[in-house]
Structure 1
Amino acid sequence: MKKRIGSYPRVRIEGDGRTVVSQAGGVLLVETVRKAGLDTAISAALTPWRKARAVHDPGKVLLDAALAVALSGDCLDRTAQNRIWLEIVQIALDLLAWMPMLALTGEARLWEPRRLRLRLFTTAGQLVTTGRRRILRLARHWPWTGHIIAALDRLTQLPDPG
């Protein structure tokens, strides 16, 4: 029997961090994936292609690649060479479209992907693991910390997908 713990660990957010890690704002995209049910849906859709003794879930691998593209915005000019890459880019673009609609309010909802990357996804923070909990501490002085905390609060208030 396998226990499913989810594709990505849950992280609690605090706005009082002192030391930092890069791209802490990527937690917004991961939470959007979880709330939209993309992680389980893609894993279920790719189950027929998973080998019997495979260690890595093909859905998680695909989502990891899509999150990397969404966070960096790289390699969007060479997509015609590979059909799989087109699918990864499409998932990344869907994430960039749905995250603002689900999580952001006001003017931040209208930000273009480049502005989202520069203001939210590249935010520095400190990831602390204590016991079984993970806490992401964001820098107090960063002007967009309030947006990230409010967005994650909105995402946690959404019902989990059926």
Structure 2
Amino acid sequence: MKHSIGSYPRVRVHGDGRQVVSQAGAVLLVETVRKTGLDQVISAALTPWRKPRAVHDPGKVLLDVALAVALGGDCLADVAVLRAEP
């Protein structure tokens, strides 16, 4: 894999009342994926199917879709919900 994006970025949650986490359940899922190393394992397993000039890691794409479904998404376009979160 040429461009490993690694795991999801660290999520920081503060209880100071200034910022609201609208998808708080996603924090637990993302941290579980990171701690278990599931993102790295899936990326490694899907490496043989990755095209040489692919921009996106297929493992990350698969996990993003699974996370979108877990958050209530019902189609592939709902991955945009993940992008909209800070």
TM-score w.r.t. the length of structure 1 is 0.41
In structure 2, C-alpha distance between the alignment counterparts of 1:14 and 1:22, rounded to whole Å: 13
Runs (4+) of structure 1 exceeding 4 A deviation are: 2-5
Letter in 2 for 1:20: V
Letter in 2 for 1:58: P
Higher gyration radius (CA):
1
Name the counterpart of 2:54: 54
- Between the two structures, name the one with larger relative contact order (CA 8 Å, sep ≥ 6): 1
Instruction: Please provide the CA RMSD for this pair.
Output: 2.4
Name the counterpart of 2:26: 26
Q: Name stretches of at least 5 consecutive residues in structure 1 with no aligned partner.
A: 76-125, 128-162
Letter in 1 for 2:53: R
Name the counterpart of 2:37: 37
Name the counterpart of 1:13: 13
Letter in 2 for 1:16: D
Summarize deviations over 1:73-118 as a string: whole Å, max 9, x none: 647xxxxxxxxxxxxxxxxxxxxxxxxxxxxxxxxxxxxxxxxxxx
Q: How do residues 141-160 of structure 1 correspond to structure 2 at under 5 angstroms?
A: none
Name the counterpart of 1:153: none
Q: How much does 1:25 deviate?
A: 3.1
